[in-house]
Structure formats: structure tokens, C-alpha cells
Structure 1
Amino acid sequence: MYPVVKRILDFVCSLLGVILLSPLLLVLALLVKCGSPGPVLFRQKRVGKNKTYFEILKFRSMRADTPKDVPTHLLQNAESAITPVGRFLRKTSLDELPQLFNILAGQMSIVGPRPALWNQDDLIAERDRYGVNALTPGLTGWAQVNGRDELPIPVKAELDGYYAVHISFWLDVKIFFRTISNVLFGRGIVEGKH
């Protein structure tokens, strides 16, 4: 029953988010466009529910010539690739706002495991062990609020597995509010290879 309710909540909340945040989305799009050459949106192939692929949307926060199929934490010199506007967007997680359109389309949920890159075979394989790849990926998730970029892949997959087993409305609410707290205090963000 909850999966149906969850999809309805995702649709309504993302639609309201797009409507209410449209002035902010427009301002951020203009800042990205004026801040550096290249497209406003960054599109990347990600793993969705049942290992289907979809194109995730973000505000572009890096130079247009940055390799797009490499996780940021594996880039040799990520700091030099991030644009000045991008630095602000990433620190505040505002670069993720275009994913409201992914949620509207049913490719993502507000809460769920963060979608892996199509070529992150190690993370995808670990998630298979816990049944995580059967879930709709989320804008935020249990692993996100428990370490985010600081977590090694086995731990991230295990936390996502915990979510897969305990998925509920109240866990989603808890994750949502912990996400707001983490964003406000900049917890768990690591840029570049570590």
C-alpha cells in the first residue's frame, strides 16, 4: 500500500516544488548560464528502478569539459573543475533541484537510495546483495543522511539495504528532515579523490 501512497506524495510534492520554486529555478539557471560557458543543465546516465537507465538532471556545477561519467569523488582535481557558481550550488545542494522533474516523471522518488552512475559496477553489485536496485532511487536517502560522500561503497550499500527493508512513511519523514539539517550544516560533502 505504501508504494502507491509514496508515488502520489512524490508527484504532488514535486509538482508543488516546481511551481513554488520556479522563480528560484529561473534565477539559478541564469546564474549557471552567465557563470561559465556550457549548458545550464547537466545530464547523466543513472541506474533507476530494477536497473533500468534514466537521465538525471542537475544544474551544471562544473566546467563543460569535465568528464561526465566519473563520480566527483574519483576526479583527480575536482576543485579546479567546479565553477564559482557551481561551488555555491554544490555546497547548498541547489544543483539537485532539477531532479524535481525526474520525480514528476516517476524516474525518482523524494526519498530512496541515490541513483548510481551507469558504470559504478561495484556499487550496483553491492546493492544487488541487499535488494536495493529494485527500489526507485531518491533525491535523498538513508545513506545520504548517514555520511553521504564520506561512506565507502560497502557501507553505503548496507545503509541503502536497511532502507529497503524498513521503508515506511515515518522513515521517509525522518530522512527528509535530516536531509534539511545536513544541507544547512554542509555535512557529508567531499569533493575530489579521497
Structure 2
Amino acid sequence: MVPGNSAGPELDAALDDALLEAGARHVVLLPNGRGLTATVEQAAGRAWERGREVVVVPTASPVQGLAALAVHDPGRRPADDAVSMAEAAAATRRGELMVARRAALTWVGRCEPGDVLGLVDGEVVLIADDVPSAAARLLDRMLTNGAEIVTALTGQDAPPTLLGSITGRLRADHPEVELTGYDVRVPDAILLVGVE
């Protein structure tokens, strides 16, 4: 899994080194960020030129990367495994809470700096004043069509009680949904949510 969303010469060199040193016949790369796919695909191309078998599974968020890893089976043929991983990632809707850094016009209205924005699959779907209500509204929206599994990753600026709040909300309103939460302090987001 490739963390963060910053690409540059340092990331290129780190990916090249990791792919050369992996020692595996087959390597799967998960970008886990909207802006990293091209960088990771270029690294995979350079590895192919050096005789390494590398496949990129498109993941736009770490929650999609976790869904892909959950179905990874090293005993399966590499091509079949990559397809299964890609299908799991694609079937995972991704949500995110972040704080607006500047005023902007979104699909749901105007936001101001400091507003909490809820995004689903990269589109702003809600604007809120506080994190707990934004998290509840985001989850309700993402679970409208049903789900079996929710994965939540807290961000570096998340309130310490956020995972507990989400757990309580899901137990009360969606007891059929299995929640897995990790306090990982992801950068640039308050909360990342995957719904399968």
C-alpha cells in the first residue's frame, strides 16, 4: 500500500527500489490515492522493463486498498488474484470527511473555511458545522442502499471519540453492518470510510 497523496522524485525512487528489492515473482501495487495512480503505473512500467511482473490495482483510497487486500490469495494465479482484488476495490464505496480550507461552491452549496465536508466517491455530498454530525450523516447516506461491512480510518485531526461514536451509531441504527475501525491518523482527512 502506498500511503499519502504526494508524488515526486523521492516517491519514484522509493517505488523503483522497493520493486527491485521485493524478490517476488509477482507484485501488486495499490496506489490508495486519487493522485498516485499515474506515478504507480509508471513505476510498474519501469519494473516490467527490468523483468519484474507488476500489476497495479486501481484504488483511490486506503479503504479500497484494504478491501483489495482482504480478498488477496497468494495461492491463486496472479492474474486471477489481481482481478479479484480489483473487483473488491471497485465494489467499495469510499467516503471522506475533511475540513474546507477555503470558500468554494460545491454540488450541495457554498462552503466556508472550517466547514466539515462529507464526500462520497470524490464528490461533496454534505456540509456540516461539526465532525460527529457530519460522520453520522455521511454514514447514513452511504448505507442508504444497504451494506454488510464498513471500514473506518480516523485522520490525524479526528476527535479521539470519533470511532466510539461511529460504533455506537452503527449498533443502534444498522446492527446488521459489521464495523472495523482503525485509529491510524491518516493525513489530510478527518475520517475515511469504506462501505461494502
Which has more helix, going by share of residues? Answer: 1
Larger Rg over CA atoms? 2
TM-score, length-normalised on structure 1? 0.25
The structure with more strand, counted as a fraction of residues: 2
Which has the higher relative contact order, 1 or 2, with Cα contacts under 8 A spaced 6 or more apart? Answer: 1
